Structure 1
């Protein structure tokens, strides 16, 4: 019974911040107020932070989406041009980096070395063969 009384005497009240292991007051070490008379803990308004974050991320996503759309358009155009030239008739091996001219034929389109100002055929476009063997439209 005597031991219980000693334990009760050693126990600190609930409003006292005491570390029993270190046997010291630790209120000054806490990152928050531990007494009613301490500073008020204010919860920050995170709604403004969230709104700002959503706006920034939305703009970034919109920009990335537009870039992807442009990239897809370029891809489709290059694929279409490449297919158009490869399905045309030609009887020579095109060289990488050189410009060739696509004309409309009676039954099928054909690729030629002859520029459109040198003869009177229906000109469909000028194309250059890239190192990746893709045909790129060239302004003529």
Structure 2
């Protein structure tokens, strides 16, 4: 009969006693090898990354909405009728006449009774900055 080896001794017929090269504990006195629970670590990481990416997405969406609103205001002013060259830094007022045509004027909204769309200032980049406008005209 074959000689039996005790259960707590690592022995194989091909390699002999090879406890020092095995990736796991081979004796009762060896420290316990525990697999770390990385599932909770991963889920916390995923939650943090998703929250950060969501915040960045919301910031970009807000910036996009502001950019589109600036574009629409500039489109509205540049497509309006005016027969003068606007001066950078001056304040102008956009109106709609009885025929529904938009026009730009230096006259303020409290100086006459016209349908006032918004008040604008031309900056050095030739971009119209809306100082106060009626959002209903954009949409």
For this structure pair, what is the TM-score category when the shorter chain's length is used for normalisation?
0.7 to 0.9
Aligned pair count? 116
Consecutive unaligned residues in structure 2, runs of 5 or more: 1-15, 134-139
1:117 partnered with 2:117: no
Q: CA RMSD, aligned part only?
A: 2.2
Q: Which residue of 2 aligns with 1:14?
A: 18
Aligned ranges 1:4-83 → 2 under 5 Å: 13-16=17-20, 35-36=26-27, 37-83=29-75
Q: Secondary structure at the match of 2:118?
A: strand
C-alpha separation between the residues in 2 aligned to 1:13 and 1:33? 14
TM-score by length of 2: 0.73
1:129 partnered with 2:122: yes
The structure in which a higher percent of residues are helix is 1
In the TM superposition, residue 16 of structure 1 has moved relative to its aligned partner by 4.6
In the TM superposition, residue 78 of structure 1 has moved relative to its aligned partner by 0.4
Q: Which residue of 2 aligns with 1:21?
A: none
In the TM superposition, residue 106 of structure 1 has moved relative to its aligned partner by 3.9
**Offset from partner CA, 1:43-91 (integer Å, 9 cap, x none):** 1100000110111111111111111111111011101000000000111
Question: If you compute each CA radius of gyration, which structure gives the higher value, 1 or 2?
Answer: 1
Consecutive unaligned residues in structure 1, runs of 5 or more: 1-11, 18-31
TM-score by length of 1: 0.72
